[in-house]
Every structure is written in structure tokens, then in C-alpha cells.
């Protein structure tokens, strides 16, 4: 545990912060009021604040003593375009937007740790409190990547950076992590097949984009099944197929002039990403040429594979064991994606899951769901983890030890 126990009033205050943030959600790169709130709290604690990194990002710096060692702690700030269905007094005040992933709780835990360390922290060195915008974009235009490109670790150097995400399907207060690949990369693709409008009776004279696109969908799944090593974890999903005009019932008598297919690829292997980009482009081109249609193929790289470094994962495990009796440091990788991967590509570190299940409920409140709500009972666990991690990291690195 951190050298000084948490004050109950701090947990109560963090709960109020969390619920205020929940009631005022802001989505990617629009986190202006959120950033104002975070910056004001950090300044109130006596922490130096820098704003504007990666758009609306906030970095707080708390330095004590003479040690040059610094550690980074990161929380995400953005909400989602989801209309909240919860009936609580702090429900979202913005129609169509809500904190459905727990970023409100992530911010409250890190703010709680910041206040605790500023008031009671026992350390020699520097703690960087990194509040990142736009984690939910799914592409390279995300907050994690932009903060790194804006010079996060040049302006605010650290020996390691750590991240945390709540997991409502896991027992309250439990921790999960693993060294190496922990979360997948995400890439998106779009296929456009073009032809000309035709009467169904004369379709034989014109390429049928719908039929060609349907064949491409089948061929993509065949590519994954037969041309990619089955030992490689890959999730291929066709999420959109659009052709014709379903709003116009009379258009049922006209064969469409275009079809659009969109989807995603998740994997834990960069070579597999390259294989899919080349393979899908080839099968789209061949199918379109064989059918006499035009085609366009776009493959957009998103978040890279999130890889925890071995020493930092072992360190995070030891810290987690100080604050929780349930720690799994060899969890299976999760085939979701997270833009903290960009920060781990620039500095060593570790990302962990913190169990936040609402005990007694028949089913967990899944992330990205209109009925999701962060479990405030896990706030003290997260605050203790962050405060303990900062103190332990600075102490062990300053003395040249790593437990």
C-alpha cells in the first residue's frame, strides 16, 4: 500500500468528480470542459499543468527531491456517441453522448492519486499525470498517437508509462495483465465496386456490383481460413454491406450501379496486418476484373498491437499484489484495441485491466452499452494502485533496484 492510507473523504470526492464527468460527456477532441475540469483540479492540488498536447490533452507534473527519474500515469478522457439509458441523477446531460467505457472513472482515479500524492506522497522524482483525449477514434488520428507526435515524451520524459482500464466482466478489484502482446491492432478496410444501373432483365449486359461484392465477402473469409496461419489470432469482420436504395421500394426493379463493403481486421502480429492488406487488395482487384466492374480498395491502419514490456509488467504485477488479492499476470490476449499502444511504442510500460463488476448483478454491464455505468466501488482500488505504483517506481529506480 502507499506509504500513507487514503482518506475516506478523498474517495467521496473522487466519486463526486466521477459523477460530474459522467453527467458532462465530451467526445474525441471536443473534451474542452473536461480538460478545464481536470486542469483546474490539478492546479488546485499544486501540480504544474501543461495543456493542448494532442489537441485537448492535459499533462500534470509533480516533482519532489532531486532524482531525475520520472514515471507517467495515463487516463483517457473522451466519451462515446451513445444515448444513455440509465436512470440516475448523474446521467448524461448531452443527448447522444455518454461515458459508456468508464473514462470518467479512469479520470477520477488518476485525479484521486494526484491529490493523494501531492498531499501525502513519499517519493523522490517526478510523476507525470497524462490525461489523453480521443481514445475511441479507432484510427491513427487518435489522441494517444497525436500526443506522442506532439512530443509528449520529449517535453515530459519518463522512464516508463503505465495505463489502466476498467473491466466490468471481471471481479471487483481484481487485476489482469501480461507481458508482450496484450491487445490487438485494428485496421479498417473499404471496398467499392462500380458498374451501371440496369433493368434486371438486361443485367447480363452489365456487371452486377452486388453479386461481385457478395463474392468478395465470401472470398475474404476464405482467405482468412485458408491462406493465413491458423495459429495466428485474427478477427476479420464484415460490418457493412451497402448496395441499392432500400428507402425507395420502386428501386427494387433496378439493379444497382455500386456496392460498398466495409470491415475490420484485428491481429496480434504485424506481419499478418501486411498479409491482409496485400491479400484483400488482390482478391478485390481480381474479382472486379473478372466481373468487368471498376473497383476501389482502401486499407487504413489503426492502432498497433499493444505490447507490455517484461520488466514493467513484472513491476505492475508486484504493485497490484499490494492492493489486491486477485492478480493474474498471465491473462490471455484480448482481441480488442487500445491507443495506449502508441505510448508503449515510444516508452516502456504496462497496461492493466482492473475488474469493476457490479457485484450481485446477473450479467455485467458491458462496455460501449447504453446501460453501462462505471462502478464507483472500485475507485479506491485504482487510486491506491496509481499512488503505490508511482512511489514504488521512483524509489526502486532511483536506487537501481527493480522488484
The catalytic residues are 78, 135
Joined together, the cell numbers standing for residue 52 give 493542448
Which residues are CB-contacts of 399 (< 8 A; sequence separation ≥ 6)?
none
Q: Are 166 and 357 in contact (CB under 8 A)?
A: no
CA distance 74 to 107: 9
Contact 208, 243 (CB under 8 A): no
Instruction: Put residue 180 in one of left, alpha, beta given phi > 0 → left and psi -120 to 50 → alpha.
Output: left
Q: Which residue has the cell 460527456?
A: 25
The CA-atom distances, in angstroms, between 368 and each of 90, 102, 114 are 18, 9, 27
Residues 217/344, Cβ–Cβ less than 8 Å: no
For residue 182, the SS3 value is: strand
- C-alpha span between 14 and 107 (Å, rounded): 9
| Cβ partners under 8 Å of residue 142, min gap 6 | 28, 134, 135, 136, 303, 339, 342
- In 3D space, the residue among 265, 276, 271 whose CA is nearest the CA of residue 336 turns out to be 265
Distance CA 121, CA 390 (A): 9
User: Are the CB atoms for 129 and 47 separated by under 8 Å?
Assistant: yes
CA-to-CA separations, 313 to 175, 271, 382, in angstroms, rounded = 12, 24, 17
3-class state of residue 157 by DSSP: coil
- Give 180's strand partners: 308
> Residue 20 — φ and ψ, nearest 5°?
-65, -45
| Cell numbers that stand for 358 in this block | 457490479
Hey, what's the cell of 152? 509528449
Amino acid at each position: 500500500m502507499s506509504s500513507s492510507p487514503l482518506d475516506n473523504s478523498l474517495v467521496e470526492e473522487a466519486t463526486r468528480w466521477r459523477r460530474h464527468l459522467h453527467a458532462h460527456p465530451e467526445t474525441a477532441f471536443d473534451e474542452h470542459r473536461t480538460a478545464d475540469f481536470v486542469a483546474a483540479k490539478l492546479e488546485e492540488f499544486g501540480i504544474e499543468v501543461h495543456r493542448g498536447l494532442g489537441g485537448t490533452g492535459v499533462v500534470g507534473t509533480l516533482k519532489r527531491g532531486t532524482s531525475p527519474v520520472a514515471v507517467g500515469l495515463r487516463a483517457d478522457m473522451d466519451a462515446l456517441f451513445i444515448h444513455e439509458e440509465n436512470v440516475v441523477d448523474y446521467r448524461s446531460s448531452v443527448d447522444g453522448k455518454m461515458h459508456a467505457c468508464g473514462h470518467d472513472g479512469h479520470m477520477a482515479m488518476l485525479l484521486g492519486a494526484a491529490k493523494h500524492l501531492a498531499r501525502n506522497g513519499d517519493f523522490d522524482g517526478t510523476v507525470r499525470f497524462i490525461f489523453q483525449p480521443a481514445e475511441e477514434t479507432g484510427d491513427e488520428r487518435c489522441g494517444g498517437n497525436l500526443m506522442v507526435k506532439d512530443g509528449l515524451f520529449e517535453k515530459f520524459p519518463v522512464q516508463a508509462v503505465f495505463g489502466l482500464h476498467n473491466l466490468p466482466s471481471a471481479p471487483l478489484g481484481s487485476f489482469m495483465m501480461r507481458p508482450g502482446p496484450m491487445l490487438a491492432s485494428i485496421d479498417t478496410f473499404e471496398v467499392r465496386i462500380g458498374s451501371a444501373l440496369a433493368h434486371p432483365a438486361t443485367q447480363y449486359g452489365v456487371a452486377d456490383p452486388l453479386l461481385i461484392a457478395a463474392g468478395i465477402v465470401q472470398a475474404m473469409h476464405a482467405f482468412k481460413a485458408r491462406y493465413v496461419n491458423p495459429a495466428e489470432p485474427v478477427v476479420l469482420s464484415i460490418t457493412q454491406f451497402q448496395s441499392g436504395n432500400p428507402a425507395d421500394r420502386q428501386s427494387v426493379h433496378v439493379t444497382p450501379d455500386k456496392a460498398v463493403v466495409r470491415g475490420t481486421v484485428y491481429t496480434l502480429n504485424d506481419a499478418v496486418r501486411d498479409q491482409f492488406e496485400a491479400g484483400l487488395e488482390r482478391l478485390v482487384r481480381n474479382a472486379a476484373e473478372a466481373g468487368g466492374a471498376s473497383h476501389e480498395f482502401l486499407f487504413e491502419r489503426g492502432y498497433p498491437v499493444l505490447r507490455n514490456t517484461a520488466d514493467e509488467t513484472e513491476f505492475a504485477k508486484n504493485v497490484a499484489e499490494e492492493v489486491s488479492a486477485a492478480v493474474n499476470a498471465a491473462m490471455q490476449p484480448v482481441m480488442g484495441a487500445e491507443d495506449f499502444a502508441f505510448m508503449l511504442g515510444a516508452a516502456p510500460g504496462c497496461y492493466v485491466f482492473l475488474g469493476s463488476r457490479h457485484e450481485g448483478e446477473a450479467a455485467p454491464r458491458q462496455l460501449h452499452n447504453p446501460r453501462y455505468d462505471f462502478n464507483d466501488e472500485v475507485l479506491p482500488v485504482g487510486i491506491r494502485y496509481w499512488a503505490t505504483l508511482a512511489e514504488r517506481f521512483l524509489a526502486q529506480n532511483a536506487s537501481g533496484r527493480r522488484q
